[in-house]
Amino acid sequence: MSVTELTALISLLEDPDEGIYHTVRQELEQIGEPVLRPLRTAISEEGHGDVFLSRAKALLDHLGTGEVRSGFADWIGSEDHHVAEALLLLDRYIDPTRSIQELKETVDRVRQDIWLELNDDMTALEQVKVFNRIFFEHHGFEGTRGGAAKPAHALPREVLSQRKGNSLALGALYLALAQELALPIHGVNLPNHFILAYCDGGHLGEFNEDGGPGGVLFYINPFNKGGVIHPDEVNAFLGHLDLPVGQQSCGPCHPIDVVRRLIGNLAYAFEREELLEEAERMRELLFFVEGCSSPQRAERAE
């Protein structure tokens, strides 16, 4: 079916006859993904009534949810697991009517600005210093201070536009950019906090003589403008919480685990704001991602 034919069919969503509406919706649902682009275009155009917009957005939400879940399944099954791609999928899941082009351009612009300042002769600390200067000082990203968890502090679109986020959201964006720049930086799932680890790249999963995770040169706190943390400080933090020092608690985690934690954080934030429908959608996505990633975790455990 051509774009012109799809556009004509989409326009029938406004038909007052319920029978015609249901027939049109069923046909559009059967067509599936090719409907998404002209449907988003139709919603963005002026002149449509409330009935059309309500029906079109409901259909887009239904079709878009399937599209995003398919995208997450492909992402989980991929080899690279670029976090930037997962953040864009998450934004589309939250609101399928919005274009992600602006988000992609923002991420690309920040990445390009950092890349221009890096060179192969820099030490690991020098690379992180340059990254922090461009990310936190030039582009103005900062952590949100105090108060209960809020969706705006974790939503990729809001963090990119407001330049503010919680430790997990800032860390996920920092990680996404580091991946795009081929820097050996990984997420670390500390309890009640999220930090990053700069690794030597060759000994992940091994342990040092003191029992700490091997391969970690130092840690990075994205919530504190990328402040560098010595491994001993992380070990002391875990000791204060009576938690063991090891790969699971302070070693690099998989990008899938970072995204899972971000989705769970959003579900919690929506619930705190009593946005129960949004919270339930996040939990549904979390269950889906959990199901898709279970075989991946089993492979990593072997």
pLDDT at 15: 87
Task: Mark 54-91 as b/e (b = at least 16 C-beta within 10 Å).
Answer: ebbbebbeebbbebbbebbeebbeeeebebbbbbbbbb
* Total number of domains in the chain: 2
pLDDT at 243: 54
Q: Are residues 138 and 50 in the same domain?
A: no
Q: Are residues 102 and 246 in the same domain?
A: yes
Yes or no: say if 135 and 114 are a contact pair by the CB < 8 Å rule. Answer: yes
Tracing tokens 């001993």 back to the chain, one arrives at 232
Does the pLDDT of residue 56 top 80, yes or no?
yes
Does the pLDDT of residue 57 top 70, yes or no?
yes
How far CA 190 is from CA of 141, 196, 249, 301, in Å, comes to 22, 9, 6, 19
Task: Enumerate long-range contacts of 232-236, CB under 8 Å, 24 or more apart.
Answer: 234/188, 234/190, 234/195, 235/210
Q: Are residues 63 and 117 in the same domain?
A: no
pLDDT digits (tens, 9 = 90+) for 76-119: 999 889 999 999 999 989 888 777 888 999 999 999 999 999 99
Give the range among 82-91, 137-146, 162-171, 239-248 with minimum mean pLDDT.
239-248
pLDDT digits (tens, 9 = 90+) for 148-205: 678 999 999 999 999 999 989 999 999 999 999 999 999 988 877 889 999 886 444 4
pTM of this prediction? 0.83
Average pLDDT, the chain: 85
Looking up residue 72, the CATH number of its domain turns out to be: 1.25.10
Yes or no: say if 195 and 233 are a contact pair by the CB < 8 Å rule. Answer: no
Tracing tokens 């300042």 back to the chain, one arrives at 117
Q: Are residues 102 and 221 in the same domain?
A: yes
pLDDT at 161: 93
Domain range for 68 is: 3-77
Q: How far apart are CA 26 and CA 153, in angstroms?
A: 38
228 Cβ partners below 8 Å, 6+ apart? 125, 128, 218, 219, 220, 221
